[in-house]
Amino acid sequence: MTEYLTTYMKYIQEKLEKCSEPSELDGIMSEHLDKIAFMQHERIVHFLVTMLFSVILTIFIAVLVFTPNLPVLILVTIILVLLIFYIKHYYFLENTVQKMYKVYDGILEKQRKFKENAR
């Protein structure tokens, strides 16, 4: 997903820079809004999974406190490592979606300029 989003962001920026007609810009806007919707869905799913792993980690830490044993400690360690990677990925998704909003604002600005130039 990281590579997909990074590639898409480069692609949409290049397409936006090369855009010279309002009709082309409408296509870019439509495509970009679809991608934003997909990424918002992806972001909420990863948020829910991250929260689930956080709750599971908390439960197993509580179990470890009351019944210390090696298998539970290993399980806590595995869940903690997974949670760290989920948080890292969620952070990337969140920041990228916010960048997508800025690109959306850039598209709107370019649409305004086209309308002003048409007058």
> Residue 65: inside a domain, yes or no?
yes
> Residue 17: inside a domain, yes or no?
no
> Residue 27: inside a domain, yes or no?
no
> Residue 69: inside a domain, yes or no?
yes
> Residue 9: inside a domain, yes or no?
no
With tokens 């972001």, the residue in question is 43
**Measured CA angle at 92 (ends 108, 80), to 5 deg:** 155
**Phi-psi label, residue 34: left if phi above 0, alpha if psi -120 to 50, beta otherwise:** alpha
> Residue 64: inside a domain, yes or no?
yes
Which structural domain range is residue 87 located in?
38-114
Per the structure, how many domains does the chain have?
1
Distance CA 114, CA 13 (A): 18
> Residue 25: inside a domain, yes or no?
no
pLDDT 10s per residue in the chain (119 long)?
789 889 999 999 998 888 888 888 888 899 999 999 999 999 999 999 999 999 999 999 999 999 889 999 999 999 999 999 999 999 999 999 999 999 999 999 988 888 887 76
Question: Taken in order 21, 24, 26, 31, is the CA torsion positive or negative?
Answer: negative
> Residue 49: inside a domain, yes or no?
yes
